Amino acid sequence: MATPADTVTDRSNSAVPDIEALATPTLDERGRQRFCSALRRFAIQDMPERLQQDFEERVKPAREAKGERLDTARAIDAALAGEDSYRFYSVLRYNAQEMCFLSVQEPVERALPEMIEVARDAAERSPAGGTLRLDPALEVPRYVTALDVHLTPGCFHSEYADDDVAQGAVVSLGARVFTASMNHRSWGGVAKVISRWVKHARPDFRPLRILDLGTSSGKNLLPYVEAFPGAEAYGVDVAAPLLRYGHALAEHEGVPIHFSQQNAETLDFPDGHFDLIVSSFFFHEIPVKATRRVLKECRRLLQPGGMMVHQELPATGLVDAWEDYFWNWDTDNNNEPFYTAFRAEDPIALCVEAGFDRDRCFAQILPDVNAYPDRHGAFGWDEPGRPRHGKGGWYVFGSSLAD
């Protein structure tokens, strides 16, 4: 009798199976995942509002009565650090984040041998026409290897078996758990938002090659292929398990994506090779000095008339003190130590330093397609009702080159 692995490799003319469907949770595991999803939503949406209310109504008046000024994120952090409301909020949010990834580990471990075979099969045949280029000699940066970023067990890069895809599955499926109950977001929403806005802002723009930096499993690259038919899509990341997993996903979807294991600070593509360069949740994960190198690479890789759009966290100078405080929580508590330093930078100044024309740079909030289906343009920073990043809108920055 054929084993599950045999049935995958024997179907030499079949489409690539859905690698994500293999990690099937039991009834109890599914219940746990739903609980974790609801708990994280409460921790990251409802609890901050209650913490802010406690701060505004109790903590702030008492501190100001003593002559303290609480008009910066640092001052708010110091005022709340010992408060029970803050301690409960932090414990809940930390554990909810960690539990989302832990909730998918057992299904992934059970299905791992078959998932590895699917990924190998996809790499050998690539029926959709994509490619997978790995570099075993690549030195994964210490800012990735030094800690479990996002509290993801094993981080992105760890490998425990030959041709391992476990971390790709844990990152992808864990992220699905912790966003599942956020109905203001779209799955793959960042790419849908950016591609829709680019087409609205530049209706004649027809990118021939698109590059996604820190692509992970490529889920935020797939919608660009749909938005710009015929464009060649490339995704780079330092983590081989993510790329193997993403390649199998793309081949299953019938989308030809060219994945390669590279550090975005130094890429091996020729000058002027891309028309559109994008990223999602990438720059706040790397040191500012690395950000400067990556943006210079973007400038080198864009051809005349090209454009780069990076979805990121809003800069400190663009938000009020409370929102600034809210975002900076991750710096100390979510294993993302570069959050605050990146947000303290002026993204337009970073782009200018990398060689872009200041007049062609931008930093703005784009409406999410779920929350604002009929709105394609950007929100003004002073516009009444402007959504917060991640809650109806996405903050982006970038620039373009003249033709």
Domain count across the chain: 2
352-233-243 Cα angle (round to 5): 100
pLDDT band at 188 (very low <50, low <70, confident <90, very high): low
- Whether 196 and 164 share a structural domain: no
In a domain, 17, yes or no: no
Region of residue 67 (left: phi > 0; alpha: psi -120 to 50; beta: else): left
Compute φ and ψ for 232, nearest 5 degrees.
-80, 130
In a domain, 134, yes or no: no
HSE-up (13 A, CA, CB side) for residue 317: 10
In a domain, 48, yes or no: yes
Region 256-279: what's the mean pLDDT?
Answer: 98
Q: Which pLDDT belongs to residue 384?
A: 87
Residue tagged 């993302």 (tokens): 336
pLDDT (tens digit per residue) in 24-52: 999 999 999 999 999 999 999 899 999 99
Q: Which pLDDT belongs to residue 190?
A: 87
Torsion sign (Cα): 68, 74, 78, 83: positive
- Whether 171 and 270 share a structural domain: no
- Whether 168 and 269 share a structural domain: no
- Whether 302 and 395 share a structural domain: yes
- Whether 87 and 219 share a structural domain: no
pLDDT (tens digit per residue) in 211-243: 999 999 999 999 999 999 999 999 999 999 999
Other beta carbons within 10 angstroms of residue 162's beta carbon come to: 7
pLDDT (tens digit per residue) in 274-289: 999 999 999 999 999 9
Identify residue 111 by its one-letter amino acid code. A
In a domain, 137, yes or no: no
Residue 8 has pLDDT above 60, yes or no: no
Residue tagged 């994945």 (tokens): 259
- Whether 30 and 52 share a structural domain: yes
- Whether 83 and 103 share a structural domain: yes
In a domain, 372, yes or no: yes
pLDDT band at 117 (very low <50, low <70, confident <90, very high): very high
The CATH number of the domain holding residue 310 is 3.40.50.150
Report helix, strand or coil for 256. Answer: coil
- Whether 227 and 119 share a structural domain: no
Residue numbers of the domain that contains 334: 189-400
- Contacts with 372 (C-beta within 8 Å, 6 or more apart), sequence order: 387, 392, 393
- Whether 170 and 193 share a structural domain: no
Residue tagged 């701060």 (tokens): 55
